[in-house]
Amino acid sequence: MTMATHVRCGSFFSGQGEQASEDYTLSFGADGIITYAGPSAAAPAATAQDSVLDYSKLFVMPGLIDVHTHLAYGNAKTEEDIDLYQPMEFRALRALFFAQRVVAAGYTSICAPGDAGQISLSVRDSIAAGLFDGPRVTAAGRYLTTRQGLTDWYPSWIGAPDTSIGRLVASRDEAIEEIRVQVKNGVDCIKIAMDGFQTRPNGELVAAFNQDETTVMVEEAHRLGRKVVVHARGREATLYSARAGVDLIFHAYYLDDECLDAMLKSGSAIGPTMTFPRNIIDFTQPHERAATKGRIESTRREYEIACANLQKARKAGVPMMTGTDSGFAVTPYGEWHARELEIFVRDLGFTPAEALRCATAVTAGFLARGERVGVLEAGRLADFIAVDGSPLKNIAILQDKSRIRHVHIGGQRTQFADREYDPLLVTDRSWVNWSDLYTQARVKELRLLGGHLAAAE
* Structure confidence at residue 444 (pLDDT): 83
Q: Which residues contact 255 (CB under 8 A, 6 or more apart)?
A: 235, 238, 239, 263, 309, 310, 312, 313
d(CA 29, CA 52): 12
Give the HSE-up count for residue 416: Cα atoms under 13 Å, Cβ half-sphere.
23
Q: Are 357 and 62 in contact (CB under 8 A)?
A: no
Nearest CA to 143 out of 184, 176, 180, 191 is that of: 191
d(CA 325, CA 313): 21
* Structure confidence at residue 203 (pLDDT): 86
pLDDT tens, 296-323? 999 999 999 999 999 999 999 999 999 9
Phi, psi angles (nearest 5°) of residue 103: -60, -40
Which domains are seen in the chain, by residue range?
64-337 (3.20.20.140)
d(CA 27, CA 11): 15
> 293 or 186: whose pLDDT is higher?
186
Torsion-angle region of residue 130: left (phi > 0), alpha (psi -120 to 50) or beta?
A: left
Nearest CA to 247 out of 279, 285, 219, 289 is that of: 219
Local structure of 138: helix, strand or coil: strand
pLDDT tens, 413-447? 999 988 898 988 898 888 777 877 787 788 888 88
Q: How confident is the model at residue 450 (pLDDT cuts 50, 70, 90)?
A: low
Percent of the chain with pLDDT over 90: 80
d(CA 40, CA 74): 44
* Structure confidence at residue 185 (pLDDT): 97
pTM score, whole prediction: 0.94
